[in-house]
Chain A
């Protein structure tokens, strides 16, 4: 350790007597940060002020104000809208569980390499291509109206199950791609190490590859959940009385658009925290990637000592 500290000490001493350049650098950085904040603040006020001014001074403003910003309708519609949102939450939670399972099966199928599994791989690939290509609303329409239209005995007439079915089919395609990226990101040496211990391919996947893959894709998965949460309103088209459908009903009864604003508010309140959580997780993952792993730390160590560890 003394050998390492040795060359450092006189180096520091060389600056003695001169004004500390680091303190000056810090002062300059602080001043420039303050300047940036002020500029950002000013430009925000100007931009949003201008938008508000244009909106409020426009000829149609009084009419828009009356039909979108009616306080009493807002207050009276909020309880109904909030309770209709429970349907969205149900849709979201049930679909989410099904999506996580189906998407994982798809991803594992597509990541398989055995020749005998080629048909499985092919089917999974076609599935993912088709459901990523189709607009979600279309899938919801076709399933929601088509299947009950078959008039088969014993199948439900309530649109809710079809809504769950459609959302699951659509989102599984996207989520399986997220899983697959995660599986691909686990270095092959991990699977090799597991196989060299005698684990079968499935055991290596289950105990070694998937746990690491899933941990890595939690942030992008959350991102897809945010999308799903919002897309639950799409099933209003097949007659599920959820938050958007409910607000349409209130709108039609009052000839007033304020309920939509209430819906928007509900989504903001629910979605923004989830979005922030996602960003936080991504940032944490990035930090870990930089300094967390043993090998990265070791490499950094070797570099800082002049890279003498080369074999």
Chain B
């Protein structure tokens, strides 16, 4: 993709981020640096704060404390242009959230046309190129309802990519899928990783996290309890909580 000139500035920096919903502390001082082209897997039990962290980075939730910087620019500052930040950060949700009243091609071109203000024909040409790359060209004219879950999720990824984000957030993108549809979505993400896309993904697919991630972060009760290369985290986790979590995963036959 882009020339790998390391500027020294992390693609994403999360500094002491805390977030509560009422009395419930969901994030308790998260610190995380993500370099360009890095793929970070966030693992941890449900409710450990993975999704909330991603939603904070996309500014879908305001943070209570701490700062988030993208490419060195603080996005949690007051008076920041939220819409401009969001163009640089793509997010894909567990439940796809495609726009059901729009054809696939219109789902993909909506933001390029109305946010990036690109001409319709140009946006559609680019959208078709993306759809083709992920084997969805023949679905361009269909409504999302007519697609399988795996196809819908791939369209959702294409929709996020159409804005050419610097950073892609993936929030348990395979959790709502039938098991036989998971592989097609994972292979898309694998291709993106190979292409150098900087990604932060919350996932329950431990095998996948081990294969694809450059670093794995284990979240527990709103903190990053342990992080490191997948080989270390999965083979010799230092923390007892991490071992406990991974043992449960192994017992469930998911690693």
Contact = CB atoms under 8 A, between A and B. Distances in A.
A98 to B, nearest CB: 26
A190 B99 contact: yes
Contacts of B110: 194, 197, 199, 207-208
A43 to B, nearest CB: 44
B63 to A, nearest CB: 16
B114 A294 contact: no
B115 A198 contact: yes
A311 B181 CA distance: 13
Interface in B141-183: 144-147, 149, 152, 159-160, 163, 172, 175-179
A72 interface: no
A189 B60 CA distance: 10
A190 B175 CA distance: 18
B58 A196 contact: yes
Given A197-B160, A199-B83, A294-B147, A208 B99 contact: yes
B97 A294 contact: no
Nearest to A197: B111
Number of chain B interface residues as a range: 35 or more
Nearest to B91: A196
A308 interface: yes
A208 B115 CA distance: 14
Contacts, number: 85
Contact of B101 (A211, A298, A302): A211
B101 A294 contact: no
Contacts of A197: 86-87, 90, 110-111, 115, 159-160, 163
Contacts of B89: 196
Contacts of B177: 309
B97 A190 contact: yes
Given A207-B110, A294-B152, A198 B83 contact: yes
Interface residues of A, number: 28
Contact of B86 (A195, A215, A295, A311): A195
B155 to A, nearest CB: 11
B115 A203 contact: yes
Contact of B100 (A192, A198, A293): A293
Interface in A191-219: 192-200, 203, 207-208, 211-212, 215
B77 to A, nearest CB: 18
A38 B91 CA distance: 61
B93 interface: yes
B68 to A, nearest CB: 15
Contacts of B175: 311
A301 interface: yes
Contacts of B176: 295, 298, 311
Given A198-B83, A311-B204, A215 B152 contact: no
B95 interface: yes
B84 interface: yes
A292 interface: yes
Interface centre among B144, B163, B175, B176 (most CB of A within 10 A): B176
Contact of A198 (B145, B146, B163): B163
Contact of A308 (B58, B101, B146, B179): B179
B144 A189 contact: no
6 contacts: A192-B97, A193-B93, A195-B86, A196-B60, A198-B115, A308-B179
Given A189-B95, A298-B149, A298-B178, 14 more contacts: A192-B60, A193-B98, A194-B99, A195-B86, A196-B89, A196-B91, A196-B160, A198-B116, A211-B101, A212-B99, A293-B145, A294-B146, A297-B145, A311-B172
Interface of A: 189-190, 192-200, 203, 207-208, 211-212, 215, 292-295, 297-298, 301-302, 308-309, 311
